[in-house]
């Protein structure tokens, strides 16, 4: 992690800073992390939509899905457990009867 290699940087909680322009190091790092990922997600989603055409539904999943979805309109649904649910379904489909 960045903070482990830079002596003066702190480990920060992923939470929305008071503004996009940080007034201190912690808020600046939070802004860069959160809004950087939001921009990344928006860019990838826009490219996928261009390739797919139409208006596909976008599902945000994973640990940061709620935070990112709250900052963008490109995510239609949030299901934080979708990946684990999918793995469970695959396991159940492939499980050998006892």
Q: What is the mean pLDDT of residues 45-73?
A: 95
Which of 16, 39, 43 has the alpha carbon at shortest distance from 29?
Answer: 16
The Cα–Cα gap between 78 and 80 comes to 6
With cut-offs at 50, 70 and 90, classify the pLDDT of residue 36.
Answer: very high
Integer Cα distance of 74 and 78 in angstroms: 11
The band of 9, judged by pLDDT with boundaries at 50, 70 and 90, is confident
Q: Are 31 and 14 in contact (CB under 8 A)?
A: no
Domain architecture of the chain: domains with CATH:
2-94 (3.30.420.40)
DSSP state of 97: P
Mean pLDDT for all residues in the chain: 90
When pLDDT is cut at 50, 70 and 90, the band that residue 97 belongs to is confident
pTM of the model: 0.77
pLDDT at 13: 87
């Amino acid at each position: 992690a960045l903070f482990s290699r830079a002596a003066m940087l702190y480990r920060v909680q992923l939470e929305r800073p008071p503004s996009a322009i940080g007034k201190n190091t912690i808020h600046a790092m939070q802004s860069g992390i959160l809004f950087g990922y939001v921009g990344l997600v928006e860019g990838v989603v826009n490219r996928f939509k261009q390739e797919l055409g139409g208006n596909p539904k976008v599902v945000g999943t994973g640990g940061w899905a709620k935070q990112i979805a709250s900052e963008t309109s490109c995510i239609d649904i949030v299901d934080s457990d979708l990946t684990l649910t999918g793995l469970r379904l695959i396991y159940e489909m492939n499980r050998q009867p006892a």
